[in-house]
């Protein structure tokens, strides 16, 4: 049974990714886990690994405690500057404009639809739907690089379905220093218990529904508020083990392999029981 358990551990250890370390180069905004142009509202025991602030124009930040900001993150109750480049909101706006100006590749297509997007290699992707709804699992295939970059241009609203997830795969263990950036022209909403990766820079409100998590990035609303509901937001990104996107055939072979392993294990036990005892 020990061999069977070891095999399971070996397989599932390839599928684990944890979030820690700065990944998005957006100037002084990079130190922030949450930035709300019209303030930040927290409900419940949210954990933020990064600074939290509203703007000087609307500095209100409520719900801390019970929410916590982990050092070296800072809770700014008087807001931060939202002026030119060199200020958190100014740098976030510059990053938004820069991301919007990039030419999308979309792997040979002009735009992406909605729903389950499968696996995407690094690049710039644009959407043409009024509301982009992400369902299921989106795999970001780093192709063995720890500096891979994805930019998603969303002209209108972004919504993730409940329990949906984004996963970073085929990235080497350790600090991932690439970029995952979502620029959103309208509101962004992360569904209940969804697991999201990357920095959201939105023109309108950003809402994280109950127990949604955001790793490898931050939640930034340039002109509205950010609302939290018992969430974890982490600017960091550390890959805990080598991960890869399994081929469909591999997924089918996995249960067959486990069955064969169990069969061999019990066959070996039966053989030992039936073997003659030598005197």
Neighbours of 265 (CB within 10 A): 15
Is residue 96's pLDDT more than 50? yes
Is residue 49's pLDDT more than 60? yes
Question: 24 vs 31, 194, 197, 267, CA distance in Å?
Answer: 10, 21, 11, 53
User: pLDDT per residue over 232-257, tens digit each?
Assistant: 999 999 998 755 555 544 444 444 44
User: pLDDT per residue over 110-128, tens digit each?
Assistant: 456 666 678 999 998 988 7
Residue 17: the pLDDT is 37
Residue 111: the pLDDT is 55
Residue 128: the pLDDT is 76
User: pLDDT per residue over 253-274, tens digit each?
Assistant: 444 444 443 333 434 444 433 4
Who has greater pLDDT, 3 or 46? Answer: 46
% of the chain residues with pLDDT over 90: 62
Classify each residue of 30-46 as buried b or exposed e, where b means 16 or more C-beta atoms within 10 Å of its C-beta.
Answer: bbbbbbbbbbbbbbeeb
Is residue 78's pLDDT more than 80? yes
In DSSP notation, 37-93 reads TT-EEEES--EEESEEEEESSS--EE-TTTSEE-TT--EEEEEE--SSBTBHHHHHH
Q: Which of 153, 145, 220 is nearest to 185 (CA)?
A: 153
Q: Where are the domains of the chain?
A: 2-11+243-274, 17-239
Residue 115: the pLDDT is 64
Cα 125 from Cα 112, distance rounded (Å):
7
User: pLDDT per residue over 127-140, tens digit each?
Assistant: 877 778 888 899 99
- What value does the mean pLDDT take over residues 150-171? 93
pTM score of the predicted model: 0.79
- What value does the mean pLDDT take over residues 13-32? 57
Residue 129: the pLDDT is 73
By 3-state DSSP, what share of the chain in percent is helix, strand and coil, each rounded to 5? Answer: 25, 35, 40
Residue 244: the pLDDT is 56
Question: Mean pLDDT for the chain?
Answer: 80
- What value does the mean pLDDT take over residues 90-107? 87
Residue 82: the pLDDT is 84
Q: Which of 22-36, 133-147, 183-197 is least confident?
A: 22-36
């Amino acid at each position: 049974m020990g061999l069977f358990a070891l095999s399971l551990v070996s397989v599932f250890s390839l599928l684990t990714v944890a979030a820690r370390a700065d990944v998005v180069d957006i100037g002084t905004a990079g130190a922030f886990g949450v930035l709300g142009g019209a303030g930040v509202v927290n409900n419940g025991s949210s954990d933020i690994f990064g600074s939290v602030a509203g703007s000087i124009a609307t500095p209100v930040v409520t719900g801390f405690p019970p929410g916590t900001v982990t050092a070296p993150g800072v809770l700014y109750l008087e807001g931060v500057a939202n002026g030119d480049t060199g200020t958190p909101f100014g740098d976030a706006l510059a990053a938004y404009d820069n991301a919007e100006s990039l030419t999308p590749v979309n792997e040979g297509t002009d735009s992406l639809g909605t729903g389950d997007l499968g696996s995407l290699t690094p690049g710039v992707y644009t959407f043409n739907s009024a509301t982009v709804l992400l369902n299921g699992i989106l795999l970001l295939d780093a192709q063995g690089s720890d500096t891979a970059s994805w930019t998603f241009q969303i002209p209108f609203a972004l919504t993730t379905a409940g329990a949906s997830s984004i996963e970073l795969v085929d990235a080497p263990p350790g600090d991932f220093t690439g970029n995952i950036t979502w620029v959103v022209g309208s509101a962004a909403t992360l569904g209940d218990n969804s697991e999201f990766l990357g920095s959201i820079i939105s023109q309108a409100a950003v809402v994280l529904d109950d127990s949604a998590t955001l790793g490898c990035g931050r939640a930034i609303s340039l002109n509205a508020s950010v609302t939290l509901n018992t969430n974890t937001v982490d600017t960091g990104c550390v890959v805990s083990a080598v991960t890869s996107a399994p081929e469909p055939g591999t997924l089918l072979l996995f249960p067959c392999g486990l069955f064969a392993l169990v069969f061999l294990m019990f066959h070996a036990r039966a053989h030992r029981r039936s073997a003659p005892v030598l005197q």
